[in-house]
Every structure is written in C-alpha cells, then in structure tokens.
Copies of this chain bind each other. A is one copy, B any other.
C-alpha cells in the first residue's frame, strides 16, 4: 500500500516492522509467553529506586519533558567524565541511529556494516536513500579488517557501523583492537560504535572515551542492563560539532518526561547496576549449562544474552526457535548465514531459565522431527 503523496524515495521503501514484538507473537500464537527471553530486555527489572521515582512522577506527567534534557544530560556528562556538549540524549539508540543516518546519509551514500548485525541503522540508512555495504562476520565476530577495507573500497562510504560487544552474537573485541580500528578508519568516514551492551562487557573492552575525535560517535542505552527498555532513553557521545547537529533534526520534546526521570534515577543507582550485571553473568552461565545438557554449544558472551549454536543449518535453528515459541519460550535468532545456525537467548530470571531447561530438549526433539 502506498500513497501518491509520498516522495519517490518514500514510495520506494519497504513497509516493515524490524522486529516482531513478543506481544505480536502472543496474538498470533493465541497463548501467553511463559519465558520472555528474546528481546535482550533486563528481566531483573529496573532499580526499585527507579520504580519509586517513576511512580512519584506519574501525577506530574501533564508537564512536557525538558526539551534540553538538561538534568539527565548533565548527569551523564559527569558520570562519563566528558563535557556536556559531547552528550546527546535521544529516543533510544534506535531513535539516535535514525537521526545519525539523516545527518550523514544523502541519497547514494554508503554505510558499511556487518552482514547479520543489528539491522536498525541499516533500516534508517536505506530510509534516507543510502546503500549498505555488507561485510561478513569472521569467526562469529565483526571483522574489523574487513570493515576497514570496505570503508576504503567504497568510494561513497560515509559511515561504518559496528557494535562492541556485538549483537546478535555476543562477541567482542578488546579496547586495544577497537582503538587500532578507530585510528585506521579514514577521517572522512564516521565511525558509529554501538555500545548498547557496554555495561555487561568485561574490563578492557571499551575504548577510552575520546569525545574530541571528529569521526567517532558512540551510542549507549538505558534499555539493557538498566532495565528501561519500555521508556526509550538512549544517549550518544561524540564530538561537540556533531552533537550540536542533532538540534537541527531531532524531535525536541521526544524524550519523555518519564524517561528522563527514570534514566536519571537509574544512573544514580550504580549499586543496582552492579547487582544486575552479576545476575546476568550467572544467567549466561546457566544458559551455557542448559545448552550443554542438550549437546549444544553456547558462544562466549559479553552481553545480556547468549548465542547458542544449534549445530546445524539456519533452517534447523529456525525450527528450534519455532518449537520453543510453540512452548511459550520467546527467543530470537540471527538470520544471516553463517550466524543463522544460532538461536539468541536473553539472560532471564532463574524461573525463566527453568522453563528453558524444561523446554529446550523437547524443542530440539520437535525440530529433529520437523
């Protein structure tokens, strides 16, 4: 369906929902999900202090949020040790990625990314008339050499996207490897470094914050370890001139008042974050053990999920996913070969993983017979 009123660019875009939400699965399957461990949400929830702050803010929700997001932006700058002018807050990382694509991609421009990586930046690049140049993963990690080569090979390359730690595989590079990559990327190419999972990464994974570098912007979020996926608050760290550009294109009142309240309270409770990260680590280990009990291999992970290699091809892994779904276990999976041999399981509560432990062997049996 389309409309004669659309621009030629808009009329040519596919209508899509990048991820099918668990609620949509429930509507389709006709039964509730028993273990919601597919969207890399934080089933451990936000800090109790965050919940209290949100509940206290509810009666004041008739007020618009501060369009300058001043308190949260300042708190983030202090927390990160960078100037206020180097931080932008947006409607989740997805919202920021849309704005970044808009700022840097003119029709015909190229973005380099890994084949099978998080697709939302690609969606926005295509949406602004850009082209994606895909680089295959290598050894279940984003291929830094390959990405670098593509930024040099593609004449109209404007941006290279990579995530560290990586989604959907959970793999990561060391800070030193990343720093060498960053130094080697041509200066005219923007590096969009997605650190959505930075809180769960081992020490030595995150490059130092160099907010003066003109061709680097990093994105982080309150949706993962902080447990605020339902509020959509993400932030970017970059050079001040780049950050200022958001004020030319953003939805100025887009970050909700409640989101600002919640994120600020979340940032202030680092003890909760520490505790959640410990629980995530334990859950990753448990997922590994559950996988091993069924003869499957869990990949090492620096994130709040684990990619589990189902040991055969993508069709088989998809059959496993469908069989889990039919049993009320919501997981997701990479779709690009060769990542597609895996299913991706989020670090859930012990009760969620009990259900997984029960149902995975049955799902594998069902997939075998499929």
Q: Residues of A with Cβ closer than 8 Å to B?
A: 1-10, 13-19, 21-24, 27, 36, 39, 41-46, 50-51, 54-55, 57-68, 70, 91-92, 94-95, 98, 102-106, 109, 127, 158-159, 188, 190, 214-215, 223, 227-232, 239-242, 244-245, 247-249, 251-254, 256-259, 262
Contacts and interface: CB of A to CB of B under 8 A. Distances in A.
B15 A103 contact: no
A39 B15 CA distance: 35
Contact of A24 (B6, B44, B50, B68): B68
Contact of A244 (B1, B21, B44, B241): B1
Contacts of A70: 23-24, 27
A43 B62 contact: yes
Contact of A241 (B1, B21, B50): B1
22 contacts: A2-B241, A5-B103, A5-B190, A5-B214, A7-B103, A9-B106, A15-B245, A21-B64, A21-B66, A24-B67, A39-B64, A42-B62, A45-B61, A51-B58, A54-B55, A61-B227, A61-B228, A62-B227, A62-B229, A64-B229, A94-B254, A95-B251
Contact of A10 (B66, B102, B239, B258): B102
Contacts of A50: 58, 61
A103 B256 contact: no
Which of A8, A102, A228 has the largest count of B CB atoms less than 10 A from its CB?
Answer: A102
B17 A66 contact: no
Given A21-B66, A23-B70, 20 more contacts: A2-B241, A3-B245, A5-B158, A5-B159, A7-B106, A15-B247, A16-B248, A18-B67, A21-B64, A23-B66, A42-B62, A54-B58, A55-B55, A91-B251, A92-B253, A94-B251, A127-B248, A230-B256, A232-B253, A232-B254
A269 to B, nearest CB: 14
A29 to B, nearest CB: 14
A8 B106 contact: yes
Contacts of A65: 21, 230, 232
A42 B42 CA distance: 34
A75 to B, nearest CB: 14
Contacts of A103: 3, 5-7, 10
A225 to B, nearest CB: 10
